[in-house]
Structure 1
Amino acid sequence: MTDFSDDSFSDDGGLHALWQGSEPILAPLPLDEIKRQAGRFGDAIRRRNRREYVATALVVAVFAFYAAIFAEPLVKLGSLLIIAGALVVAWQLARRTSRADPDAEAQDISGYYRARLVREEHMLARVGRWYLAPFVPGLLLFLLGQAKASGMGGSLVFLLVVAFQLLVFGSIWILNRRAAAMLRARIARIDRAGTLQGDSQ
């Protein structure tokens, strides 16, 4: 699967651009800016989800092929578990993703945008349990099966492969935790704007 946070950290048109700006991070957001960012946020989420679903299809195809061609039972079982993990992640992504609601947006753009940010923040902050954890059993069995079949279970190459996988998982977890913190700062700015608006009335 692709890095869940790659839209947040890779391109100026993604979520990263929504969280960075020249104004202080705790400064309140004007209503026009909230409207603009709400639209861009929805577009970024849709792009991210499309990439993830395409990645899920690729994972299923590749590991179904591995399950068919490899004779080692651990590799076959690991491949099937990885496929199951990818499908669970796709289901979780669809279930957890904030969805557009034109009626709510028309009634209260600030509250609507804040609600979507909160939902995404919760999803990013918990990426370890719903995005990474489903892959762990299958990946461990797959790697053990490969090591058994190749006879390199105790070799440096096998240890390097395991270390690389841990590095990838750790990087995804850290990046998504950082993205969640950025979303919390964005939520605080919206709350601050609402407080100031209420005080001025």
Structure 2
Amino acid sequence: MTDFPDDKGLHGLWRGDGATLAPLPLDEVKRRAARLGNAVRRRNRVEYIAAGVVLLAFAFYAIVLPGALLKIGSLLTIAGVLVVVWQLARRTSRSNPGVEASDVRAFYRARLVREEHMLARVGRWYLAPMLPGLLVFMAGQAVAAGKATLPGVLSFAALPLLLFFGVWLLNQRAAVKLRAQIDRIDRAADYQGDPE
């Protein structure tokens, strides 16, 4: 998932920097809305390409690797990736030029909210569908290596589980940044007396 680096970050918020908390002017909202759209398209393109590579690799594994656990783990991973691709397509922000032209601030806010919800829940829709396949595949690797014990399986699964945790953390951080941007837009609307 993509980290949206268009905010000064949490450190500025913790210090109470007034510039970080100031409402966004309309021109800045337009610029950020365009940047967000580009970042989402770029992120989705990378995710779909990565999903294709994973699908091909695990389809190959399901055919050539020996052992039922490796084959079942490969098939579960394929199913998990298909769920992730479907969820990404379903959850991702979609551009609507008519709405954008009528009220760019509301359009940008809605896209930010959608992205924030998606990133904050990445554990449920992105990581969880791939976890069963990963664990069964790692158990199959442990059995193939002659380490069919719980510590053996955990030794094979430790690095992928740490990577999953890192992905979850990065997405939580990005969601916090998006929440801060949503708050800035809300403060700007309140400051200008816009109705919610």
Query: 2:146 matched to which residue of 1?
Result: 151
Q: Kindly indicate whether the alpha-carbon contact (under 8 Å) linking 1:105 and 1:112 is maintained by their aligned counterparts in 2.
A: yes
SS of residue matched to 1:19: coil
Contact 1:19/1:182, CA 8 A, preserved across alignment: yes
Q: Measure the CA separation in 2 of the matches of 1:186 and 1:53.
A: 27
2:22 is aligned to 27
Aligned positions of 1:26-175 closer than 5 A: 26-154=21-149, 158-175=153-170
Q: Is the 8 A contact 1:118 1:187 kept in 2?
A: yes
Q: Over residues 172-192 of structure 1, what are the superposed CA-to-partner deviations in whole Å (9 max), with x where a residue is unaligned? A: 111101110100000000011
State the SS of the aligned residue for 2:142: helix
What is the identity, as a one-letter code, of the residue corresponding to 2:7?
A: W
Partner-residue secondary structure (3-state), 1:120: helix
Query: Unaligned regions of 5+ residues in structure 1, if any?
Result: 9-14
Contact 1:74 1:141 in 2 (8 A): yes
Give the alignment's TM-score, normalised by structure 1: 0.88
Query: Any stretches of 5+ residues in structure 2 without a counterpart?
Result: 13-17
CA separation in 2, counterparts of 1:156 and 1:123?
Answer: 34
- The alignment's TM-score, normalised by the length of structure 2, stands at 0.90
Q: Name the CA distance, whole Å, in 1 between partners of 2:140 and 2:152.
A: 14
Spell out, residue by residue over 1:86-117, the C-alpha distance to the aligned partner (whole angstroms, 9 max, x if none). Answer: 01101100000010000000000000000000
Deviation string 1:41-72 (CA, Å, 9 cap, x unpaired) is 10000000000000000000000010010120
- C-alpha separation between the residues in 2 aligned to 1:96 and 1:197? 31
Which range moves more in the overlay, 144-153 or 20-29?
A: 20-29
Matched-pair contact (CA < 8 Å) for 1:25–1:185 = no
Q: How many residues align?
A: 187
Aligned partners of 1:154 and 1:121: how far apart in 2? 40
**AA aligned opposite 1:198:** G
The CA RMSD over aligned residues, in Å, is 1.7
Task: Report sequence identity in percent.
Answer: 58
